Amino acid sequence: MTVDTSVAPGHVPGPLSRPMSPVGVGGGAALPVRLQGVVKSFGTLTVLRGIDLTIPAGQFLAIVGRSGCGKSTLLRLLAGLDTADAGTITIGDAARRAESPVRLMFQEPRLLPWARIRRNVEVGLSGRGAGPQAGALAQEALARVGLAERAGEWPSVLSGGQKQRVALARALVSSPGLLALDEPLGALDALTRLEMQELIERVWTAQGFTAVLVTHDVGEAVALADRIVVLDGGAVAADVTVDIPRPRQRGDAWAAAIEGDVLRRLLGGASQTTNGLVSPSGALPVATGPQA
């Protein structure tokens, strides 16, 4: 991955209810992301074939696609766990990355079973020299996900949803500039999943980081994201703006229409969709089609 210092164009204000400033409560500055011609292969299998994507600072982007479309690979590239074979990935500039890092939330909580909850959250401050403040910062991050009183317990006594909340606190404690979420709610039951979605939206609104969520649940993408990118065969097949004001209502007809549109694209019906989605309330401008 080549990380150059050219910063993507200035902050594009998010949708209606988003705070205008990219600087969040946690003190981190949201990082803009730009991918240019990103290619990634594993052996003879080309997983990503030339991805071009610009994510303005502070945007909540969802990436949806079938299994094996390359969405998780794209996220691993953003998090720096893998390197691209070709193309460039620019995530803010080095100075801002040092201050507000890129953090990844995995599909599994990946907590250290031998460390108490607070110590697990402190892992999020690794290499950031938080020193004696670490404990207090971790406690504050735990409070943000509603688990302040469980700080002294072992991870093994927590439920799956609570463990994922600890993992979220671990990602938030360093005031990330970019939070990459790799289907973090995939293994949770439906109700816990809804609670987690609300929590993620809440902390994103409060801290104002750039968020990239990989999911196969289109409903989840529509509920959370400003914008949904559909990946198919390692390329961007559609780029949909979700222009629904927050807080969003579940089961909203507008959301259902966008969900239906994205699902059609996912199932390969992209050629039949017209450019511009008709929402139930009339003519709402919803940008569709691959972005230039």
Q: What is the DSSP string of 163-187?
A: HHHHHHHHHHTT--SEEEEESTTTT
Residue in 108, 140, 232, 252 binding other proteins, rule: CB under 8 A: 108
What pairing do the DSSP bridges indicate for beta strands 33-42 and 178-182?
A: unpaired
Residue in 26, 124, 161, 177 binding other proteins, rule: CB under 8 A: 124
Say if CB 74 and CB 231 are below 8 A apart: yes
Shortest distance (Å) from residue 102 CB to other proteins: 9
Which helix (H) or strand (E) segment is 103 a member of?
A: strand 102-105
Instruction: Compute the distance between CA of residue 112 and CA of residue 120 in angstroms, rounded to an integer.
Output: 6
Residues with Cβ within 8 Å of 136's Cβ and at least 6 positions away in sequence, in order, are: none
Say if CB 151 and CB 117 are below 8 A apart: yes
Shortest distance (Å) from residue 127 CB to other proteins: 4
Q: Is residue 129 involved in binding other proteins (CB under 8 A)?
A: no
Say if CB 88 and CB 35 are below 8 A apart: yes
**Nearer of residues 131 and 251 to other proteins, judged by Cβ:** 131
Residue in 5, 20, 67, 127 binding other proteins, rule: CB under 8 A: 127
Which helix (H) or strand (E) segment is 266 a member of?
A: helix 253-266
- Among the residue ranges 16-24, 122-130, 143-151, 205-213, the one whose residues contact other proteins (CB under 8 A): 122-130
Residue in 15, 80, 160, 260 binding other proteins, rule: CB under 8 A: 80
Shortest distance (Å) from residue 152 CB to other proteins: 12
Binding to other proteins by CB under 8 A, coded x per residue (else -) over 168-207, reads: --x-------------------------------------
Instruction: Compute the distance between CA of residue 80 and CA of residue 63 in angstroms, rounded to an integer.
Output: 17
Shortest distance (Å) from residue 156 CB to other proteins: 5
Residue in 23, 123, 256, 284 binding other proteins, rule: CB under 8 A: 123
Residues that bind other proteins (CB under 8 A): 79-81, 101, 103-104, 106, 108, 110, 112-115, 123-124, 126-128, 154-156, 170
